[in-house]
């Protein structure tokens, strides 16, 4: 089994990076192979370009080698795992850019019939996982800012309809967490990743 981890945080010493490392430990302990895409480390473009926008509805919407590597990868991976800090309710811009540039027609979905019905194409996916930290407490996230979960679990999840299990692993009120609580969260990440089948 193969997992692809998308990591979006500019600081290599961040908690998000620690989460990604532990997720890899968990996955590899049960024989998974893992590709880690650290978007900031590879200096990933922060926005869909005007040329890419014009190419979007054509037969060849991928214009860039990095994007092509990623579209090849997500068509054969078994799990897509997103690791990011929640900023302004949702994913950091660089991860949003990755969704826009990678999940293009013909790769992630097709529009068919007179009503442009969305047909999911990432049917290889068995798992769509989000692992995130929030500055806000649980009740505030529920009430105001769980747009990231809606984006990952529901929207990206649509592309693997019926086939993928969605999992959400979150740590709330990050800034007031003790070291012990953070360690426990990392252990949970490792345990949950080791339980993916």
Partner 1 sequence: MSRRVLLVFAHPSHESLNGAALEHAIRGLEHGGHEVRVRDLYTENFSPRLTLEEKRGHLAAPDTKPQLEKDFADLLWCDTIVLVHPTWWGGQPAILKGWFDRVWASGVAWHLPDGAANIRPSLTNVRRIMTVSTHGSPWRVNAVQGVPGRRIINRGMRAVCHPLCRTSWIALYAVDRVSDSRLRRFLRRVERRMSRL
Q: Which residues bind to partner 1, rule: CB under 8 A?
A: 9-11, 14, 40, 46-50, 52-54, 87-94, 96-97, 99-100, 103, 115-116, 118, 135-137, 140, 143-148, 150-151, 154-156, 158, 173, 175-176
Please give the DSSP secondary-structure letter assigned to residue 150.
Answer: I
Cα 125 to the chain's mean position, in Å? 12
CB of residue 27 to partner 1, shortest distance in Å: 25
User: By C-beta, is 2 or 161 nearer to partner 1?
Assistant: 161
Beta strand residue intervals within the chain, DSSP E: 2-7, 33-38, 79-85, 109-112, 117-120, 127-133, 165-171
Contact call for residues 169 and 192 (beta carbons, < 8 A):
yes
Task: Provide long-range contacts, Cβ within 8 A and 24+ apart, for 11-15.
Answer: 12/41, 14/85, 15/85, 15/133, 15/174, 15/182
Please name the residue that has the structure tokens 């991976």: 77
User: By C-beta, is 26 or 157 nearer to partner 1?
Assistant: 157
CB of residue 50 to partner 1, shortest distance in Å: 4
CB of residue 62 to partner 1, shortest distance in Å: 16
User: By C-beta, is 131 or 152 nearer to partner 1?
Assistant: 152
CB of residue 93 to partner 1, shortest distance in Å: 3
User: By C-beta, is 10 or 195 nearer to partner 1?
Assistant: 10
């Amino acid at each position: 089994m193969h997992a692809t981890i998308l990591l979006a945080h500019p600081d290599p010493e961040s908690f998000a990076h620690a989460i990604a490392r532990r997720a890899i430990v968990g996955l590899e302990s049960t024989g998974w192979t893992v590709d880690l895409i650290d978007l900031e480390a590879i200096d990933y473009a922060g926005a869909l370009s005007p040329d890419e926008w014009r190419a979007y509805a054509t037969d060849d919407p991928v214009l860039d080698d990095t994007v092509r590597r990623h579209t090849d990868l997500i068509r054969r991976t078994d799990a897509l795992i997103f690791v990011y800090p929640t900023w302004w309710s949702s994913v950091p811009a660089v991860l949003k850019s990755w969704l826009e540039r990678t999940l293009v027609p013909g790769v992630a979905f097709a529009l068919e019939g007179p009503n442009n019905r969305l047909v999911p194409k990432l049917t290889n996916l068995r798992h769509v996982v989000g692992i995130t930290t929030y500055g806000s407490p649980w009740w505030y996230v529920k009430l105001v800012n769980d747009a990231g979960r809606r984006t990952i679990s529901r929207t990206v999840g649509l592309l693997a309809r019926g086939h993928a299990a969605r999992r959400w692993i979150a740590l709330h009120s990050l800034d007031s967490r003790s070291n012990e609580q953070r360690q426990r969260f990392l252990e949970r990440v490792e345990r949950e990743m080791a339980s993916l089948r």
